[in-house]
Structure formats: C-alpha cells, structure tokens
Amino acid sequence: MTKDRQHTWLTYVVLALVFLASVVTAWLLPVPDLFRGFASIPGIGALFGAVYHLWREQRLHERAVELLHRQQDFALAAASHMANVAYDKHVAFAEAYIARTNQGVDDLFGTGPSKAALKFAGDLHAIRRQPATWLSSEIEEKLIRFESALTRMGAGMAFLDSVPVGEGRSRVVEEIYKAFKGLLR
C-alpha cells in the first residue's frame, strides 16, 4: 500500500473514531442536554471532515482522469502526425522510384541488356537508401531483388567484353538473359 493511501485510510479511521467517541459521549454520559450538544460538535465536525475529504479525493481522481485523457489525446495526435509523415515520405519515395524504374526499363527494353543496367541499379539503390526508415522490410526486400537482377545483368555485360568466345562466354550470356528475364516477373 502506498504512503498516500495509508495516510488517506488513517484520516478516515481518525474521523470515524472522533465521530464514535462524540456519539458515545453524547448518549451514555449522564450529563445535561447542553453538554450533550457540546459533546456532539466534534462528531458533526468529523462528518463534515469525512465529506470534505471524500470530495477532495473525487476532485483529485477527476483531475487524474482528465490528465490521462489529455496525455492519450497528445499521443494519438503525435501518432497521427507520424502516420501522415510516413505516408508522405512513402509517396515521395514511390514516385521517385517508379519514375526512375519506368525510365530505366524503357531504356533496357529498347536496347536489351547493357552495361547501363549498372547505373540504373545504382540510381535505384540511391533512391531507396534515402527514405530507408520509412520503408517496410517486405518492400525493401523486393526492391533489393530487383536491383540485384539489374546489377547482375549490368556486371555480366561489363564482364562479357573480357570473356573469350566459348562455353564460358555462353554461360555469362545465359546468366545475363536469366537476370533480364527475372526483371519481367
């Protein structure tokens, strides 16, 4: 039990004892009615004290509830603001990423696999890294796979120049077109 709660119960016990003592004194002592009236005054005071103490506790409770509601409203407003910010950041990212993706895919489908896929993958990576805190891990995982396919394709095209004609070169070409085909999925 907390110290405040012990103090509150102690206050009620003292007020109850004062009231009981006053009532017992007024009823049981063989004294004139005037003294009985005086003996009941502390009991009446104890009753008023108990009512005042109850009223004060009720006001403190109402204030605590109001404060809790204000804190909850603040938390909700902050969360709502964060949701709006996250949405705005996500939309800005999606617009930039889609614009660059459309441009790069148009270039790749126009020319086929090329070394330019490395720059394309690098541009997409740079766009994705800026708002990284606003992206879910699921979205980021899918984008990384897409960028990896572009990187494999562009790196394969750059490597192809140094590979002599033969079985090794055919394997590199297969890997390049496998990555290119993966972009279509």
Q: Which of 183, 92, 98 is nearest to 135 (CA)?
A: 92
Q: How many residues make up the chain in this entry?
A: 185
Q: Which of 57, 74, 91 is the last residue of a domain?
A: 74
Same domain, 58 and 118: no
Which DSSP string do the residues of 130-141 spell out, in sequence order?
A: TTGGGS-HHHHH
Question: Is residue 86 a part of any domain in this protein?
Answer: no
Same domain, 121 and 178: yes
Checking if the pLDDT of 100 tops 90, the result is yes
Tally of domains within the chain: 2
pLDDT of residue 91: 86
Helices (H) and strands (E) in the chain, counts: 5, 0
Cβ atoms of residues 157 and 176 within 8 Å: yes
Checking if the pLDDT of 144 tops 80, the result is yes
Q: Which of 49, 74, 99 is the last residue of a domain?
A: 74
8-36 residue pLDDT tens: 778 888 888 888 888 787 777 777 777 77
Q: Which 8-state DSSP code applies to residue 161?
A: T
CA pair distance 38, 26, nearest whole angstrom:
8
Same domain, 116 and 175: yes
Give kind and range of the element (H or E) at residue 4: helix 3-28
Over residues 167-173, mean pLDDT: 82
Question: Is residue 118 a part of any domain in this protein?
Answer: yes
Cβ atoms of residues 125 and 137 within 8 Å: no
Residue 104's SS3 state is helix
Name the pTM for this structure: 0.55
Checking if the pLDDT of 156 tops 70, the result is yes
Q: Which of 27, 54, 74 is the last residue of a domain?
A: 74
Question: Is residue 82 a part of any domain in this protein?
Answer: no
Same domain, 70 and 117: no
Same domain, 59 and 121: no
Checking if the pLDDT of 1 tops 60, the result is no
Cβ atoms of residues 146 and 183 within 8 Å: yes
Question: Is residue 103 a part of any domain in this protein?
Answer: no
Same domain, 66 and 129: no
Confidence bin at 159 (pLDDT 50/70/90): confident
Confidence bin at 171 (pLDDT 50/70/90): confident
Structural domain containing residue 24: 3-74
Q: How many CB atoms lie within 10 A of CB 21?
A: 14
Give me the chain's average pLDDT, please: 82
Same domain, 57 and 7: yes
Checking if the pLDDT of 172 tops 90, the result is no
pLDDT of residue 131: 74
Same domain, 116 and 67: no
122-140 residue pLDDT tens: 999 999 888 767 777 888 8
138 half-sphere exposure, CB direction, 13 A CA radius: 0
Alpha carbon separation from 47 to 18, 20, 27, 51, 118 (Å, rounded):
9, 10, 17, 6, 86
Q: What percent of the chain has pLDDT over 90?
A: 8
Checking if the pLDDT of 185 tops 70, the result is no
Over residues 36-48, mean pLDDT: 78
